[in-house]
Every structure is written in structure tokens, then in C-alpha cells.
Chains A and B, each alone.
Chain A
Amino acid sequence: QVRLVQSGAEVKKPGASVKISCKAFGYTFTNYAMHWVRQAPGQRLEWMAWINAGNGNKKYSPKFQGRVTITRDTAASTVYMELSSLKSEDTAVYYCARMAGPTGGLDYWGQGTLVPVSS
């Protein structure tokens, strides 16, 4: 069955970077796009970026442009999201989520990765 398994929680200091992995199981990795969405405590979901796992095309939210980088390793069926210059406001749970083909909804989600940013 389809599963997205993310790397574990990471505590970071302001100014540091974090790189989160999302490994896909149970489907043809290169046939789908992967998105990254974060959720700060008590806040709404916030879309960050997406990558076409097949051709590598990517799109970033202007809010994170310059700080976020998405990459993929097709041999490992894994997508990575790196966020740099972390601030306390980046404290959030970060999710990867598969886009449901042409329908546009996000049909499978990872379990989430908590990234507390604190000095």
C-alpha cells in the first residue's frame, strides 16, 4: 500500500538548516508529484513547495523562495526538503504529501516531522 515515511524530529538553533527526507513506498515514484506543507502550532496548513518526481521540475512558495530547496533521488524513491536560515517562527510540523495525479488533491501524507527552532 502507499506509504510516505518521513525522517525523525530535529531540534535546531536559529540560523541553522534542516533537511527532511520523505521515502515513498507502494507506487511508482516518478509518476507523481510531491508537495511539502507545514503546520505551525495552532496555525493553518501552509504550502511550501512541490516537485515533479519524474522530471524534477519544482515550484516554491514566494514566502520561502531562497530558503527552501527540494530535491529527489529516484533510485531511493525519496524526496528531500531543506530549509535554511531557520527562525523561531519556522517551528512547525513539516509534512510531505503526494499529489493525486491530475485531480490535484493531496491523497497520501507522511506522518510529519517536528522541527522545533529554539536557542
Chain B
Amino acid sequence: DIVMTQSPDSLAGSLGEKATINCKSSHNVLHNSNNKNHLAWYQQKPGQPPKLLIYWASTRESGVPDRFSGSGSGTDFTLTISSLQAEDVAVYYCQQYYSTPWTFGQGTKVEIK
């Protein structure tokens, strides 16, 4: 199985501050067939299902604010929140869909200072 490891496990930032979450894959998730990274990011708020933010590592899902951006390729990826808002308090997960079983990172909890 591909192991997804996120860092940090948690972070606390001030309103308006930039937040960065890293995700490392144990296997390259850049697929030869389409030259795309099979990597997604999700946001999960307490008591809710996850919400898709980013797919193909850097494509924002429709309706997701542009303060959320994804970058990286191969095995190393980053989710950036350019200006933290109160509503961004949540746990964020990366997920690979390069091969089954699909696997998720352990999550990064984002809080406001």
C-alpha cells in the first residue's frame, strides 16, 4: 500500500496568516498515462463528511475559495491556505488515487490562534 504522511499533525495560525500543510507519498503518484498526479486534498469539519478541495494535486474543485491552492509532484505535495479564515478550522487530509487501495494521510488539524 502507498503510505501518505502529512506534516505537521497540527498547526495554529492567526487570522490572515498563511498556512502550509505537507504530504509525502511512499510511492510516486504521477501517472504515466495522463501525466497527472493522482493526489487530492480534503477538508473535514467536526461532525461532517470530508469535502473535496483539490484534485490532480493542484486543480481547485468548483466553489472552493482561491485562498486554497495545491502544489507538488511525484512524492511531495503541499496544500497552502494563503490567508487563514475562521471557517478554515478543520482537519485536512491528502489522499492518493494512483493505485488501490486508495490511502489517506493521517490528517492535519488547523486551528486559529
A binding-site residues for B, Cβ under 8 Å: 35, 44-47, 50, 59, 61-63, 95, 97, 100, 103-107, 109-112
Number of B interface residues in the complex (CB < 8 A): 23
Take A47-B103, A63-B101 as given contacts and tell me if A103 and B49 are in contact as well, using a CB distance cutoff of 8 Å. Answer: no
Q: CB distance A104 to B49 under 8 Å?
A: no
In the complex, chain B residues whose CB is within 8 Å of the CB of A62: 101
In the complex, A109→B100 CA distance in Å? 19
Report Cα–Cα, A111/B50, bound state, in Å.
10
- Bound: A46/B104 CA distance, A: 7
Residues on A with C-beta less than 8 A from B54 are 105
B contact residues around A111 at 8 Å (CB) = 49
Find out whether the CB atom of A100 lies under 8 angstroms from the CB atom of B104.
no
